[in-house]
Amino acid sequence: MDSVEKAKLCNNSSFYYNSSPETFISFFEEYPMYTRKYLDFQDFKKFYLLKKDKVYLTEKGFKDMTFIALNMNSGRDNIQKTRRKID
């Protein structure tokens, strides 16, 4: 049995999805969160833009990115306010 015949017998499905950070960054900029996760999103976006610009290749850039990563999610100070003006 050749590979074409095997492919015809296969009934698995494949799904394509776009998991590009630009996709969900633009989504959350258009539909912002009004919770503490908004701050994590802002940090994620900063981190992603620094990574995209290859800032991590410098010592200062690497330290900046490490600082951002360590202060996301459970590392965030609970005192920070997340209140934003709702349009």
pLDDT of residue 43: 93
**Higher local confidence (pLDDT), 15 or 66:** 66
Residue 85 has pLDDT above 50, yes or no: no
Over residues 10-65, the pLDDT tens digits come to 565 555 555 788 888 999 999 998 888 899 999 999 999 999 999 989 999 999 99
Q: If pLDDT is split at 50, 70 and 90, which confidence band does 87 have?
A: very low
pLDDT of residue 23: 87
Measured CA to CA, the distance from residue 48 to residue 76 in angstroms comes to 18
Measured CA to CA, the distance from residue 75 to residue 72 in angstroms comes to 5
For the chain, domain boundaries: 18-75
